[in-house]
Amino acid sequence: MRGQQWCLPPFIFMSLFRGLLVLCALAFSIAGCATDSTNPLNSRMLGQPERVTYDFEFTMLDTPDIELMEYRLETESPTHIFRTVKVNTQQAGWVVLQTHNVGAMPYYRPTRLYVKWRIKSTGQEYQDTVDLTHRLPKDMEDSRLTFRMEGSHLGKQLFVYLSTRELRPKDWPIQGPPIYQYHKVLVLYPDPAQQIPTTEK
User: What digits encode the pLDDT tens for the residues 143-196?
Assistant: 999 999 986 567 789 999 999 999 999 999 999 999 999 999 999 999 875 545
Give the count of domains, the chain.
Answer: 2
118 and 21, same structural domain?
no
Q: Domain containing 20: what range?
A: 10-36
Question: What pLDDT does 35 receive?
Answer: 41
Question: What pLDDT does 62 receive?
Answer: 86
Position 140 in a domain: yes
77 and 29, same structural domain?
no
Position 106 in a domain: yes
21 and 68, same structural domain?
no
Any idea how long the chain is? 201
111 and 16, same structural domain?
no
Question: What pLDDT does 102 receive?
Answer: 76
Question: What pLDDT does 23 receive?
Answer: 57
Position 44 in a domain: no
Nearest to 75 by CA among 93, 100, 50, 42: 50
Position 151 in a domain: yes
102 and 16, same structural domain?
no
136 and 69, same structural domain?
yes
200: helix, strand or coil: strand
Position 42 in a domain: no
Ranges of beta strands (E only) in the chain are 51-59, 66-75, 81-83, 86-89, 93-96, 99-101, 105-108, 110-119, 125-131, 143-150, 157-167, 183-189, 199-200
Position 149 in a domain: yes
21 and 112, same structural domain?
no
d(CA 27, CA 35): 13
157 and 71, same structural domain?
yes
Low-confidence residues of the chain: pLDDT under 70: 1-47, 90, 151-153, 193-201
170 and 73, same structural domain?
yes
d(CA 51, CA 37): 8
Question: What pLDDT does 180 receive?
Answer: 94
Question: What pLDDT does 36 receive?
Answer: 44
Question: What pLDDT does 32 receive?
Answer: 45
d(CA 130, CA 190): 9
Position 67 in a domain: yes
160 and 79, same structural domain?
yes
d(CA 96, CA 197): 21
